[in-house]
Amino acid sequence: MIPDFIQMLLLRQNSQSVAVSERNRDWTYQEFVRDVQNAQAFFLQKRIEKILIALPQSYYAYVLEWAAYTAGITFCPVSITTPIDRLHYFISQFQPDLIFAEVTIRHETTQIAPQTFFKGLEKSGHLLSPKNLEIAYVIFTSGSTGTPKGVMVKRTGLDNFLRWSTTEYPVGENDVWGQYSNLSFDLSICDIFTALCKGACLVPVATPAEKLLPGNIIKNKKITFWHSVPSVVDVLSKAKQLKPETLSSLKTITFCGEKLFPSQLELLFEANPNLLIYNTYGPTEGTVFFTFIKLTKENYKDFANNTISIGNPIEGYRLHLQPYNEDNSLGEIIILSDYLAKGYLNNPENKAFGTIQNESKRYSAYFTGDYAEQINENLYFVCRKDAQIKVMGHRVDLSEIDHELRNFGCHASISTFYRNKIISFVVVDNFNEAQIMAYLTQKLPPYYIPNLVIAKEQFSYNNSSKIDLKQLIQSIEYLFET
């Protein structure tokens, strides 16, 4: 049975409305549905079960993901900036039947460029029944051992998420959705399927220039719905693009993937006071994300501590906080749901997955390794379990330091504990370390004060558009050489 939200797309097969607006071309819904159905028919006729998509954010990439989903086969999106050795590792783990890429990948698996593929496709006739494979997609995430792990997301999990997103998000045929995240980051899954289910126009924010100056594409394409990591607010701030004339078209923003700071919301509401903002949380293993909270200019301070609350679970999920401290306010987030990923590709142990007893029922569980804190009935992300630090016997929440650095006026900040030192990296105009230290001394306990504050012209970002902390640490290794 085809889910209702998929029918929403298929009903637009004759629509001349724009489905995808690239830099140099607009693609209609009629074209999109045609190409999805033709590719779907090809996959089923040729008995293709797994495809790897190594493409930029683009019309063809979106079509291929939709075609795989509707054919009931499994797709694996990877970033075009993935180093070749790592890409070969992904291929060896995933074992695709077909690879879609614009650049030749030296591998025995059949590979085809998307333009060539779609040009040679015949119009689909009688549609075969979808395969309905258990795994909808595989996304590789960074492993704690340094080896990437392929997260196997179930079709039932994606279906459940899309039932929520297509109902919850206020997006429709008159909206323009900014698709910022690389295909290898699962926020893109939400973008590609939710926007097109609802008849919105999807705009890929694909080039380095577009990502560094996102205000330009927001203004030029009149984007109304934006989805990204919170670091994009810092990028807009640094680029002096947090202005009413730049962000006036925006109606809704949804964030995920990083801590969201009150100062970031203040800047957004100053530029556009009518915004509706979602803050969400969840690892790839939970299927995109699984908690959310809705924020406006009027209510956001009710959910602000050092960071913004991550909210409550969406339908089909429960959240269990495994106590860490004596008053049970701090604990590890454990996700309870039937919609969790199946586990990791070619890793039968899957130690992070298990079951847990909760209120007389046993649930499938994923142990996130993330600590959260309950304050006034609101839940706040604190840090990774392996990033818990103590200084002079006191637990230190690094987000509290970043909160104050942003209040000081930094466009961006990220603090870490490295070689027994608290190190804060900042992007700020007219850097003056003495002034920053004096300010922090007034605001924070002595054991919170950074040992080093390092100014950067701008931060580097990884394939998920998150601040690349590893690269920042590498840039100061020379300070510790003896």
Residue 209 has pLDDT above 60, yes or no: yes
Q: How high is the pLDDT of residue 1?
A: 56
Q: Cα separation of 13 and 34, whole Å? A: 7
Label residue 398 by pLDDT band (50, 70, 90). Answer: confident
Triad 95, 97, 102: Cα angle to 5°: 100
The CATH H-level (homologous superfamily) assignment of domain 388-480 is: ANL, C-terminal domain (3.30.300.30)
Quote the tokens at residue 393: 């016997």
At 64-79, the pLDDT tens digits run 999 999 999 999 999 9
Residue 4 has pLDDT above 80, yes or no: no
Residue 453 has pLDDT above 90, yes or no: yes
Q: Return the biggest CA–CA distance within the chain.
A: 72
Label residue 388 by pLDDT band (50, 70, 90). Answer: low
Asked if 295 contacts 318 with a C-beta cutoff of 8 angstroms, the reply is no
Residue 294 has pLDDT above 60, yes or no: yes
Highest mean pLDDT among 9-23, 165-179, 449-463: 165-179
Q: What is the mean pLDDT of residues 106-113?
A: 79
At 345-387, the pLDDT tens digits run 998 778 888 888 777 788 899 999 888 998 888 999 988 776 6
Asked if 114 contacts 99 with a C-beta cutoff of 8 angstroms, the reply is no
Percent of the chain with pLDDT over 70: 95
Closest CA to 136 of 118, 151, 147, 117: 151
Label residue 344 by pLDDT band (50, 70, 90). Answer: very high
Q: How high is the pLDDT of residue 437?
A: 92
> Domains of the chain: which residue ranges?
4-303, 388-480
Quote the tokens at residue 478: 């020379």
At 120-173, the pLDDT tens digits run 887 765 566 788 899 999 999 875 556 889 999 999 999 999 999 999 999 999
Q: What is the mean pLDDT of residues 18-22?
A: 98
Quote the tokens at residue 414: 């990220």
Specify whether domain 4-303 bears CATH 3.40.50.720: no
Asked if 26 contacts 80 with a C-beta cutoff of 8 angstroms, the reply is no
Residues 6+ apart with CB under 8 A from 126: none
Lowest pLDDT segment from 236-250, 376-390, 429-443: 376-390
Q: How high is the pLDDT of residue 2?
A: 64
DSSP assignments along 152-194, one per residue: EEEHHHHHHHHHHHHHHS---TT-EEEE-S-TTSTHHHHHHHH
